[in-house]
Amino acid sequence: MDFLFSPWRYRYLASVREIEGCIFCDHLAAADDAARLVLARYSQVAVVLNLYPYTNGHLMIFPCEHRAWLHELPAAAQQQMLAIAARAESALLREYRPDGVNVGMNLGEAAGAGIAGHLHLHVVPRWFGDSNFMTVVGETRVLPEDLSRTYQRLKPYFSE
Ligand SMILES: [Zn+2]
């Protein structure tokens, strides 16, 4: 779980992205979901692959409304977020056969939120020994699977 709650790591990612505005709202406003790795849009939430995944299949679920805190979301959005998290968990278990799955949120900058203004739920497949899965040298990650391949593998599970 350590990686979900490491503020320094998210500050690094935020600086890499040079965020202007809100990337989640940008995703929703854009038309090309495949180019933006948006897996699905529902009435209350959307699903997108993380551009800087901790493991293959790392995705995020975010509300269509720009809200920082869970309590600010309408009940329907809170409920759909959890329902889609369950769908994501099922998809990852079936497609990637991980040994476990982390599901978590970092709310507020002090909690490690890289994009503090727009909450998002991380869903991360985990394997025994995956701390060695990606080499972290000088903040550079090496991933064995291309994000476009991850997108192709997971997309069908969200359109069923
Ligand atoms: Zn936003």
Encode pLDDT of 104-126 as tens digits. Answer: 999 998 888 888 899 999 999 99
* CATH code 3.30.428.10 for 2-158: yes
Average pLDDT over every residue of 139-146:
62
CB-proximal residues (5 Å) to ion ligand 1: 22, 24-25, 66, 118
Give the model confidence (pLDDT) of 82-97 as tens digits: 999 999 999 999 999 9
- Cα 63 to ligand 1 centre (Å): 8
- Cα 106 to ligand 1 centre (Å): 15
Average pLDDT over every residue of 20-42:
93
pLDDT-based confidence at residue 21 (cuts at 50, 70, 90): confident
- Cα 116 to ligand 1 centre (Å): 9
Which residue numbers are catalytic?
120
pLDDT in the model for residue 149: 94
Pick the more confident residue, 86 or 7.
86
Alpha carbon distance 139, 142 (integer Å): 10
DSSP-derived secondary structure for 111-152: GT-SSTTS--EEEEEE-TTGGGTS--BTTB---SS-HHHHHH
Domain boundaries, the chain: 2-158
Average pLDDT over every residue of 68-89:
97
- Cα 17 to ligand 1 centre (Å): 15
